[in-house]
């Protein structure tokens, strides 16, 4: 088991790619998730998480955190309520 692989699996899962069980093993499910990510990023589908793939994964994760930030969403809800009151 690798903590780095487990972290990668958690990130893949968070942005909508199914790495199978998050167990720290770079198995066929993890490779398939990485290949799907690479396909979506329009880069070579190697199944290896390096270079452009890692940058793309980090961008997707950053965008998800930015767009799905629970504190920001709650703040928007409160402001909208105040404006509409």
Question: Could you tell me if 12 and 33 are in contact, meaning their C-beta atoms sit under 8 angstroms apart?
Answer: yes
- Written as six digits, the tokens of 20 are 């199978």
Cβ neighbour number for residue 62 with a 10 Å cutoff: 11
Among candidates 15, 68, 63, 1, which has minimal Cα distance to 34? 15
pLDDT tens string for the chain (85 positions)?
A: 899 999 999 999 999 999 999 999 999 999 999 999 999 999 999 999 999 999 999 999 999 988 888 888 888 889 988 898 8
Task: Provide the number of structural domains found in the chain.
Answer: 1
Output the domain CATH number for residue 7: 1.10.101.10
pTM for this prediction: 0.80
Question: Domain range for residue 56?
Answer: 3-84
């Amino acid at each position: 088991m690798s903590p780095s692989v487990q972290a990668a699996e958690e990130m893949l899962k968070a942005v909508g790619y199914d790495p199978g069980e998050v167990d720290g093993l770079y198995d066929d499910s993890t490779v398939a998730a990485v290949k799907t990510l690479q396909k979506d990023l329009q880069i070579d589908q190697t199944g290896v998480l390096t270079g452009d793939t890692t940058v793309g994964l980090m961008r997707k994760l950053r965008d998800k955190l930015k767009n799905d930030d629970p504190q920001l969403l709650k703040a928007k809800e409160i402001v909208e309520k105040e404006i509409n009151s």
